[in-house]
Amino acid sequence: MVVTRERAVERPRPMRALGRELRSWPTVLMVLLCLTVGIPLTIALTPAQDLRILGQHISVGARTPDLSLEGPAGLVQIGNTQLDIPRIQVWGPLRPQLSLGPVQRNDDAAKVFDPEASAQATAQAVEQLRTGFVNWYLLGAVGAVGTGLAIAALVGCARMLGILRRARGGELTVADVWHRCSGTIGRMALVSVTVSVLAWGACGALAYTGTMRGLAQVGSLSDLVGASRVTPAPVGPTVTGFAGAVIGDSRAARVGGPPVADPEGDDVVCQRSADSLAGELATMVPGGVRNLACPSATIAQGLRGPQQRGETQVPPQVALLKQMPDLRFVVVAIGPNDVGWSDLITYCYGVETCDDNLTRGEFDYRMGAFDREYAALLQDLAELPSRPQVVVMTSYGAFPSETDPACPDARGPAYAVGLTQDKIDLLTDRNDQLNAVLRTGAEKYGFAVAQPDLRPLCSTGTDGMSPDLQGLSDGYAFHPTAIGSLRLAATVARLVD
């Protein structure tokens, strides 16, 4: 009876030890680390799950956590700009993210147009997304346990080192400290794993509730995968005798240069020069190169849709490409007009600071729209009848990284405030954002990327040749000169097979 009584007295002792451990400051610190570091780290490190839905490649994962309590799920199109999904609002740090693209045209995707199969296909797509997120979540749960154990081990080691440091004259060895602390560290590991699992469960419940509530509002497959797309129809007669073609804006048309000797089609209305990118490229590669570029062209109005130039409506450049069966390569120069680059640089010349929230929001909005339009253009080019090589040209910078504000092109007109180094850094950063979208989209489709290296305005030193870019005193500021056009062509020619 005495033994039994002693055992009965000893049974609560582990619980009392665990209770004391929960009140110790190292354990409190460990719990805080699990919640503020462990959970966000688990979300960031858990790899996205790849799915195949309606013939489209979709990755299911989570957005990088931020400090907000509630936020939308995310959408990344062809690996470029991240957009919000306003219909899916989630409390907590775990917010789903879908990565789409490139969009594929196949029999599975065609179900979106079949009234009889559309409802069933939608239900299957939602179920696949749900399963993919659950699989990602379970994988993250394993990561949460591992992160909790790692944090417990880190705090436990720090605790042991503290004991050794306080010991005097070598009174304690590492073995002694481990023997003394093994039970404590075990209880810390139990607390850490328990807290991590409970926190992960709470995040998962909030994410699942918000996601399912948002998906219930999806009424069409285009909301999920954007399978519906209208491509430009071929325009005009069949054109042969050209190995390549150039599509794009005024940089490729080379406004301000000498006119072509025998203008055809829209050469005059589009101000195409004899020394344009296409003209110079024709001297470097075998076969003719047709210039379809036109000033002020955007993807929506110029490349994939008609463009109005005065009283003349210029056909979509992609539609003209489809009537060229012999094409071996196509060069694409697009982007600045889509994001309103001329508006941005004019604004920076005229105000003291152009990094305000209004223009920042407008630029982000235009980048999001450009990302979607660019995805459709890339697919159009990938489906050209002759399957030509596609070379996407990035946007060049107009000023060097360190610019003298006294330079006439930076100072601007007499009535302007001018460009400071901060403004030039802002313009450079936004140009880099545009190029990141151009480069990533092209690489997704296996297209080549040409990165022109033109000598910017206000740059020091010269190679004895004329400037590469037209300045403010010229007719078309920031556009290539004859030498600049030649450099653009040389950059592209190195990539043409």
Residue 221, pLDDT above cutoff 50: no
pLDDT of amino acid 228? 45
Statement: residue 14 has pLDDT above 60: yes
The beta strands (E) that lie in 447-487 are given as 448-450
pTM over 0.75: no
Structure confidence at residue 6 as a pLDDT band (50, 70, 90): very low
Average pLDDT over residues 273-278: 94
Q: What share of the chain is helix, strand, coil (3-state, %, to 5)?
A: 45, 15, 40
Confidence of residue 74 (pLDDT cuts 50, 70, 90): confident
Q: Residues 380-401: what's their mean pLDDT?
A: 93
Both structure tokens of 237: 């007669």
Highest mean predicted confidence (pLDDT) among 11-20, 52-61, 202-211, 247-256 = 247-256
Q: Looking at residue 230, what is its pLDDT?
A: 74
Q: Residue 9: what pLDDT?
A: 40
State the pLDDT at residue 134: 85
State the pLDDT at residue 12: 46
Report whether 141 contacts 42 (CB < 8 A): no
Q: In this model, does residue 8 exceed pLDDT 70? A: no
User: Token digits for 233?
Assistant: 């129809």
Nearest to 299 by CA among 199, 399, 231: 231
Supply the pLDDT for residue 212.
Answer: 76
What is the average pLDDT value for the chain, to the nearest integer? 83
- Residue that the structure tokens 């509630």 belong to: 70
SS (H, E, C) 336-391: CCCCCHHHHHHHHHHCCCCCCHHHHHHHHHHHHHHHHHHHHHHHHHHCCCCCCEEE
Domains along the chain? 2-225 (no CATH), 242-493 (3.40.50.1110)
What pLDDT, on the 0 to 100 scale, is given for residue 224? 46
Higher-scoring residue by pLDDT: 321, 17: 321
Name residue 451's amino acid.
Q
Q: Could you read off the pLDDT of 297-345 as tens digits, one per residue?
A: 999 999 999 999 999 999 999 999 999 999 999 999 999 999 989 889 9
**CA distance linking residue 442 with residue 291, whole number of Å:** 21
